Structure 1
């Protein structure tokens, strides 16, 4: 009889995928389900990329293994992208660029190369759940650092945690992983905030992993990369979001020189190389026609973002200070507040009822929050990656649904008072 390892049994599911499964079941039953749960662009890969993939299939010799770090021409294009977009003063050697099997493959390589079992890795209290889950599977422990009122983790919050741990005689922090723009909040660090965070990590010997996979999707804020401020930071990016290639399983890392050989060995053993057809097609990602198409996607995201914010603003019970800034990415993160929840009636129940009654799929905050915090059952995430019309209809249904939710909560609170 097969037995699952204790390590695998300790890993939580990725809750948004659970929501997606339920939504797909309803859809299979003929219900008109509106998907606002997953961060998957409605658009497929850019036309030039798809055409390049088709052309590559007619040349079987192109589809063999690549170097473990990926096709050299693709790594050169990534290097040129950084030089052009961020105006880097020093050119990155291609030896420090690793093409990975999506950002998920990058997380596994980065965590395995940077941290040992028992190490402490800091994460934002509201953040991407797979950080926590993969780190746990590798035997690492997390320091969940509360985000500030702007829904950010800055050098100030990290410094406070360093001081707190020292005073309490706790193990020091070995690493920090942070996304900007953030999933789920959409909050972005300013260039100065990122610079200060890099400086503090370098000063304290904390390995900073900068998750920049939502770069390219921002709304008036300046995007900065940790490469501008530190030679020690490890950068993670992906072709899944801005480049609209989520199913192609392709990402990349820019790594410190000291990690080149360890990560090379890990990549060779874990993945061999990222999918060759995806790498070949991605060579077209920075062509003029491709960028023009991708920028049109961002314009659509901006329209969808505003539709959601306008609808939320029209709901009196939702305080605008409880809505994360949504500076980038394609998510709106909302805190229902104490007044709109009751025992047994939090965001988990709300999202479930919204799906069952209105066929709108949104993700409860339990997927993103510190498990020891009660905020997870107060918050929920709306993805607007699925297109303008999907968002328009979803928010109309949500607007119809929310008054009934408020009444449920009031009734539950009234019944509790009567019993008391």
Structure 2
């Protein structure tokens, strides 16, 4: 029997490492081990009560749950539009017209749609050198090249860093950058652009003809910093968001985009052919997401994240080997990103080995930086991410075990040098 081939595209895409960690954590859990999950960015709370109830009610009556418009239920798009007008400064109704709002199959479906709509094979998209790995992986699967732009000492990619990359490419006759995708608050760093920094990026992208994809999936989860949307500063930017994080609906596979006028027809055609529409039951339930009762519940989730964040930062401050300047700001989202520093690693004893040992010995799952860093750089095995989406008690127990594990790990590192 001749086995049909697998495409080069499929075999060239790396695995999403956090999912590999989750798989092993689940295996240990199935063996009866008390595993602490600090690896995935999945809210432990689940969907708000009002949303879950709406889904149940919609199924308790005769409801076909058939196809919606490719761009989604009009009432849901109207609520998304009103959300922007209510939340952000100077948002005009025409910039959030429902014809420009696309309800997607999670933010992942949005990434696939916009990468396909905006970039051809061989085009170049800029990403932060510390960033969400699926940006690189999905782009690579579509034949799009990646420019890893080094983040600054505040763990941010701003107009300054992007301009440096643009000028370097011009001076060295390297292909121009066609697009930029960036999240703020960031995964994995939690760093958040100020409104002025976001405005600067939007203006630079507009000047250079760069398509800016602003990933705002962690909006709503921030700690004292002002949130801004690229929609405030550019009519060309594409806004990507999701119901997975702030709205605690990760498994419902529902997101949205706000797109410029010139992309409405191309993305409509792509959505029709790739997905038809986002899950109808999820859209129906999501209509409750902006009810006052729902928002009240969701804000209690944010308060839990705030407490968990404080617990982790406090515990880390008692570990002398981990320097405060090596911890990313954690302005928003639910991640702490940490650089071990060159002095705390040795050949074979970097963050990949540390995360594996911590999981196997203390049953605490965290994610090594190799999942997030520029593959051509040397920081992937120095950095790691702790997710505090799992709740206050998970954060407490996870850091208790981490602190117990740390001295023995450092001893192994010293012995390996």
| TM-score (normalizing by structure 1) | 0.98
Provide the secondary structure at the position in 2 that maps to 1:70.
Answer: coil
**Contact 1:37–1:363 (8 Å) recurs in 2:** yes
Tell me which residue corresponds to 2:167: 163
Map Cα deviations across residues 262-315 of structure 1 (whole Å, 9 max, x no partner): 000000000000000000000000000000000000000000000000011000
Provide the secondary structure at the position in 1 that maps to 2:380.
Answer: helix
Provide the secondary structure at the position in 1 that maps to 2:219.
Answer: coil
Q: Distance in 2 between matches of 1:388 and 1:346?
A: 28
Tell me which residue corresponds to 1:34: 36
**Contact 1:213–1:241 (8 Å) recurs in 2:** yes
**Contact 2:351–2:381 (8 Å) recurs in 1:** yes
Shift of 1:364: 0.1
Moved more, 56-65 or 119-128: 56-65
Shift of 1:79: 0.1
**Contact 1:194–1:226 (8 Å) recurs in 2:** yes
Map Cα deviations across residues 365-403 of structure 1 (whole Å, 9 max, x no partner): 000000011100000000000010011000000001011
Tell me which residue corresponds to 1:352: 356
Q: Distance in 1 between matches of 2:19 and 2:35?
A: 15
Shift of 1:89: 3.7
Shift of 1:90: 1.2
Q: Distance in 2 between matches of 1:73 and 1:42?
A: 28
Tell me which residue corresponds to 2:255: 251
Tell me which residue corresponds to 1:21: 23
**Contact 1:56–1:62 (8 Å) recurs in 2:** no
**Contact 1:82–1:88 (8 Å) recurs in 2:** no
Q: Which structure 1 segments of 5+ residues have no match?
A: 414-420
Tell me which residue corresponds to 1:366: 370
Find out whether 1:206 has 2:210 as its counterpart: yes
Q: Distance in 2 between matches of 1:143 and 1:166?
A: 14
Aligned equivalent of 1:77, options 79, 82, 95: 79
Find out whether 1:307 has 2:311 as its counterpart: yes
Aligned residues: 413
Q: Distance in 1 between matches of 2:141 and 2:289?
A: 34
Tell me which residue corresponds to 2:275: 271
**Contact 1:331–1:383 (8 Å) recurs in 2:** yes
Shift of 1:325: 0.1
Map Cα deviations across residues 148-182 of structure 1 (whole Å, 9 max, x no partner): 00000000000000000001100000000000000
Q: Which runs of 4+ in 1 moved over 6 A?
A: none
Find out whether 1:135 has 2:139 as its counterpart: yes
Aligned equivalent of 2:119, options 115, 120, 132: 115
Q: Distance in 2 between matches of 1:110 and 1:88?
A: 25
Q: Distance in 1 between matches of 2:21 and 2:403?
A: 20
**Contact 1:86–1:225 (8 Å) recurs in 2:** yes
Find out whether 1:8 has 2:10 as its counterpart: yes
Q: Give RMSD over aligned pairs.
A: 0.6
Q: Which structure 2 segments of 5+ residues have no match?
A: none
Shift of 1:62: 4.7
Shift of 1:60: 3.9
**Contact 2:84–2:91 (8 Å) recurs in 1:** no
**Contact 2:125–2:180 (8 Å) recurs in 1:** yes
Provide the secondary structure at the position in 1 that maps to 2:26.
Answer: helix
Shift of 1:3: 1.6
Aligned equivalent of 1:87, options 58, 80, 89: 89
Q: Distance in 2 between matches of 1:298 and 1:281?
A: 21
Provide the secondary structure at the position in 2 that maps to 1:377.
Answer: coil
Shift of 1:227: 0.2
Q: Distance in 2 between matches of 1:229 and 1:404?
A: 50
Q: Distance in 2 between matches of 1:40 and 1:359?
A: 18
